[in-house]
Amino acid sequence: MILALAIAALAAQPAPPAGVDAGTAWELLLEEPAGQILLDPVSIARDGDIVRVRVKTVDARPNASFSYAIMRMAIDCPGRRDAIEGGASFTRDGRVINSRALEPGEALEWVPIETGSASDLYHRRACGAAGARR
């Protein structure tokens, strides 16, 4: 269920440029029959209360509109909210379906993090990461 909600959110959200997946050692946060939610632990970077991290959602459903999506998230740790800074969705063979990044001066659209959601998984892992770079 968490994955289905994450996939639905991706349809209307921005997504990093092509080739961002090569050589990444993704950390599995959740696996369900419909797919996976992963996080790039090397990408975790803290700037005060804000943590930035790359996440990946894999849609394993046979009729899925995309195979996977990679996004760069900003997470307000004490505020328990997040925003998508950019990302892309890809076909099974790695072709970009769509991508988006914030325009200069464009504000982040912060969304409250709901307990048990995909964002909650990102928040717990990234904000709780003792090794998050300052």
Domain boundaries of the chain, sorted by first residue? 2-127
pLDDT in tens, 24-56: 899 999 999 999 999 999 999 999 999 999 999
Which residue type is seen at 50? I
- Assess if CATH 2.40.128 describes domain 2-127: yes
User: Which residue positions in the chain have pLDDT lower than 50?
Assistant: 1, 3-5, 7-20, 130-134
Q: Do the beta carbons of residue 102 and residue 84 sit within 8 Å?
A: no
Instruction: Say what the pTM is.
Output: 0.76
